[in-house]
């Protein structure tokens, strides 16, 4: 009985959790390694606040070659971010940011799915899930 | 009362009752409908992995195309703002339905559906007009006509632009047609889609999606802007050449399934496949 209750509780939790999972026009699972995380730190060079998904472009230095790498970090749709207090003015080119994200499956894309972002200069942070 | 007047009154009564019965016979589908995403939630939410074809009656040609698909393809500017086609749309977002009535006859002219995501909108003609000739343009939403079958609205759609069956590259051709059934039970709407594709499906692909009525529904605009999402040389079209996609075995491996099952095909749609699956699964080690 206890086990059945546990299973039912898990199922209910999973249903709620999955119920609020994202509406992505692409498959996140096919696009990113959802079970991996990487951290990048660098200068924000572009903030594309838009539908279907916003993008933050961050330039970092490759520690081995010293070459500049431009990362595309995928984020929520403009409307979704707006409901979370993120506006198109929240981030600006030149901001120094630290981003944690799920890495893209295509290495050439230098792409991440946003998990969290921090701007150390003023301590601003965002973390969470997006659709 | 003379005979002439009696006949006139009878004819008038018949016309009135006949017309009104045709008006009240069908259920009303109008309203805002919320997509609770409970059915096939993982596939519709986070999405499938590459190589996850189980349960799809796909042809070898479809499998080959899907194997060559790269998720990066959707980052090219030309593809960022395309809506889901009519046959995939029900999987995805909230819905508004309304109808046009002829003001004089009070007969239905058309039903309309509007999906919030990318503002995909369809017109489903009820006035008996024919479908356009084969050479007419194919569009994301196709050309749809419908008729009432008791309280079920049955829709036939042709002229679909080439689309997809699943968001992992499983294709649907522009030769495909679709039959749909809109079934309302109280505040629940079940939308059944049956896709026939002589190119990429060996059997019809049948799916159902449930929606719940939302009397407080609102649907905002969904503008979409194409940008350079990813920094890449101009003209590159992301893809995998045959045999080069490294992710095709991931789904089966993660879920402890035989690779053969993940490759899909009509056989994998049916409950009987479970028997075959048991023979394909590795036997658990026996205790000495």
Interface test with A, best of B47, B163, B167 (most A CBs within 10 A): B47
Q: Give the CA dihedral A47, A50, A51, A54, nearest 10 degrees.
A: 20
- Is residue B43 in a domain? no
* pLDDT averaged over every residue in chain B: 92
Taking the Cβ of residue A119 and every Cβ of chain B, the question of whether any pair is shorter than 8 Å is answered with no
A26 in any annotated domain = yes
**pLDDT recorded at residue B175:** 98
For the record, the structure tokens of B179 come out as 């039959």
Does the pLDDT of residue B43 top 80, yes or no? yes
Instruction: Please give the Cα distance from B126 to B129 (Å, whole number).
Output: 8
A18, A110, A111: residue with CB nearest B41: A18
User: What is the per-residue pLDDT across A96-105, written as a single tens digit (0 to 9) for each?
Assistant: 999 999 999 9
Please report whether residue A81 resides in a domain: yes
Chain A touched by B241 (CB under 8 Å): no
Q: Quick check: is B246 in a domain?
A: no
Q: What is the chain B residue with the closest CA to A47?
A: B229
* H or E, element range at B29: none
Q: How many CB atoms lie within 10 A of CB B164?
A: 18
Q: Does B74 lie at the interface with A, CB-CB under 8 angstroms?
A: yes
pLDDT(B22) > 80: no
Between B82 and A7, the more confident residue is B82
Q: What is the mean pLDDT of residues A72-94?
A: 95
Q: How far apart are CA B256 and CA B239, in angstroms?
A: 27
Q: What percent of chain B has pLDDT over 70?
A: 91
Q: Give the percent of chain B with pLDDT over 90.
A: 81
Residues of B whose CB is below 8 A from A106? 70-72, 238
Residue A11 confidence (pLDDT): 41
Q: Cβ contacts (< 8 Å) between A70 and chain B: which residues?
A: 231
The predicted pLDDT at position A18 comes to 33
pLDDT reading at A84 higher than 70: yes
B158 touches chain A (CB under 8 A): no
Greater model confidence, B46 or B128? B128
Q: Which single residue is written with the structure tokens 């390694």?
A: A33
Mean pLDDT of the B117-125 span: 95
Decide if A17 is inside a domain: no
Q: Collect all residues of chain B within an 8 Å Cβ-Cβ radius of residue A24.
A: 45-47
As a whole number of angstroms, the distance between CA B196 and CA B205 comes to 7
pLDDT bracket for residue A17 (50, 70, 90):
very low
pTM of the model: 0.86
Local confidence band at A9 (pLDDT 50, 70, 90 cut-offs): very low
* Mean local confidence (pLDDT), A57-73: 93
Structurally, how many domains does chain B consist of? 1
And the tokens for B252? 């089966």
pLDDT in tens, B83-110: 999 999 999 889 999 999 999 999 999 9
Q: In this predicted model, what pLDDT tens digit does every residue of B225-281 receive, in sequence order?
A: 999 999 899 899 999 999 999 999 999 999 999 999 999 999 999 999 999 999 998
Is B285 a domain residue? no
Q: Is the Cα torsion angle B232, B237, B240, B246 positive or negative in sign? A: positive
Domains contained in chain A, number: 1
Q: Do A19 and B117 count as a contact with CB atoms less than 8 A apart?
A: no
For B209-237, what is the mean pLDDT? 93
Question: B63, B70, B84: which is closest to B268 by C-alpha?
Answer: B63
Q: Is there a contact between B38 and A19 (Cβ–Cβ < 8 Å)?
A: yes
Domain that residue B178 falls in: 21-37+74-232
The predicted structure's pLDDT at residue B14: 52
CATH code where residue A29 lies: 2.40.50.140
Closest CA to A117 of A93, A90, A99, A95: A99
Nearest to B71 among A19, A31, A72 (CB): A31
Which candidate in A21, A25, A68, A88 is best for mutational testing of the B interface (most B CBs within 10 A)? A25
Q: Identify the pLDDT of residue B283.
A: 73
Alpha carbon distances (Å) from B93 to B37, B42, B84, B89: 9, 14, 10, 7
- On whether residue A7 sits in a domain, the answer given is no
β B152-158/A55-61 pair status: unpaired
Task: For residue A33, tell me if it sits in a domain.
Answer: yes
Is position A84 within any domain? Answer: yes
User: Chain A contact for B37, CB < 8 A?
Assistant: yes
With b meaning 16 or more CB within 10 Å and e meaning fewer, what string describes B245-275?
Answer: bebbebbbeeeebeeebbbbbbebbeeebee
Task: Provide the pLDDT confidence category of residue A12 given band limits of 50, 70 and 90.
Answer: very low
pLDDT at B20: 46
Closest-CA residue of chain A to B246: A105
Write out the residue range of the structural domain in which residue A32 sits: 22-127
Better-scored residue on pLDDT, B180 or B26: B180
Identify any residues that bridge with B203 across adjacent strands, giving them in sequence order: none
Averaged pLDDT for residues A23-37: 90
Question: CB neighbours (10 Å) of residue B177?
Answer: 18
Give chain A positions within 8 Å (CB) of B93.
Answer: 23
In a domain, B274, yes or no: no
Whether the pLDDT of residue B64 is over 80: the answer is yes
Region B115-124: mean pLDDT is: 94
Q: B19 vs A60, which has greater pLDDT?
A: A60
Question: Considering the domain boundaries, does residue A6 fall inside one?
Answer: no
B279 vs B267: CA distance, rounded Å: 15
Q: Which of B224, B75, B71 is nearest to A73 (CA)?
A: B75
Q: Which residues contact B200 (CB under 8 A, 6 or more apart)?
A: B58, B59, B61, B62, B65, B165, B170, B171, B172, B173, B176
Q: Do B80 and A70 touch (CB under 8 A)?
A: no
- Where do runs of H (alpha helix) occur along B101-249? none
Give the CATH number, domain containing residue B178.
2.40.128
How far, in Å, CA of B268 to CA of B118, rounded?
Answer: 32
Rounded to a whole number, what is the largest CA-CA distance in chain A?
Answer: 60
| Model confidence band, residue A85 (pLDDT cutoffs 50, 70, 90) | very high
């Amino acid at each position: 009985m206890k086990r059945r209750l546990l299973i039912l509780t898990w199922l209910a939790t999973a249903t709620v959790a999955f119920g609020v999972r994202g509406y992505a026009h692409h498959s996140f699972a096919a696009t990113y390694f959802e079970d991996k995380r990487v951290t990048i730190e660098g200068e924000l060079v572009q903030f594309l606040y838009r539908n279907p998904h916003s993008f933050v472009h961050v330039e970092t230095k490759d520690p081995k070659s010293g070459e500049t790498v431009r990362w595309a970090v995928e984020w929520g749709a403009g409307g979704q971010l707006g409901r979370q207090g993120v506006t198109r003015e929240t981030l600006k080119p030149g901001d120094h940011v630290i981003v944690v994200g799920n890495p893209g499956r295509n290495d050439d894309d230098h792409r991440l799915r946003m998990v969290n972002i921090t701007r150390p200069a003023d301590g601003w942070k965002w973390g969470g899930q997006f659709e | 009362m003379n005979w002439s007047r009696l006949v006139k009154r009878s004819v008038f009564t018949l016309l009135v009752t006949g017309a009104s019965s045709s008006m009240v016979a069908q259920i009303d589908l109008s309203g805002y409908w919320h997509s609770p995403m409970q059915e096939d939630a993982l596939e519709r939410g986070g999405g499938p992995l590459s190589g996850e074809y189980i349960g799809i009656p796909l042809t070898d040609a479809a499998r080959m195309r899907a194997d060559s698909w790269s998720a990066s393809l959707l980052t090219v500017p030309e593809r960022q703002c395309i809506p889901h086609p009519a046959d995939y749309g029900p999987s995805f977002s909230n819905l508004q339905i309304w109808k046009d009535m002829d003001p004089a006859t009070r007969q239905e002219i058309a039903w309309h559906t509007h999906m919030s995501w990318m503002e995909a909108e369809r017109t489903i003609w009820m006035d008996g007009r024919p479908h356009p000739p084969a050479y007419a343009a194919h569009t994301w939403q196709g050309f749809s006509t419908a008729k009432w079958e008791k309280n079920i609205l049955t829709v036939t759609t042709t002229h679909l632009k080439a689309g997809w069956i699943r968001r992992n590259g499983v294709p649907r051709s522009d030769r495909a047609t679709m039959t749909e059934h809109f079934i309302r039970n109280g505040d629940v709407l079940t939308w059944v889609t049956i896709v026939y594709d002589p190119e990429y499906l060996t059997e019809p692909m049948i799916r159902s999606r449930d929606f719940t009525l939302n009397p407080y529904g609102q649907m905002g605009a969904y503008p979409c802007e194409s940008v350079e999402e990813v920094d890449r040389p101009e003209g590159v079209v992301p893809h995998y050449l045959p045999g080069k996609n490294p992710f095709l075995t991931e789904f089966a491996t993660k879920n402890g399934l035989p690779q053969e099952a993940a490759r899909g095909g009509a056989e994998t749609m049916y409950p009987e496949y479970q028997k075959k699956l048991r023979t394909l699964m590795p036997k658990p080690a026996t205790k000495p």
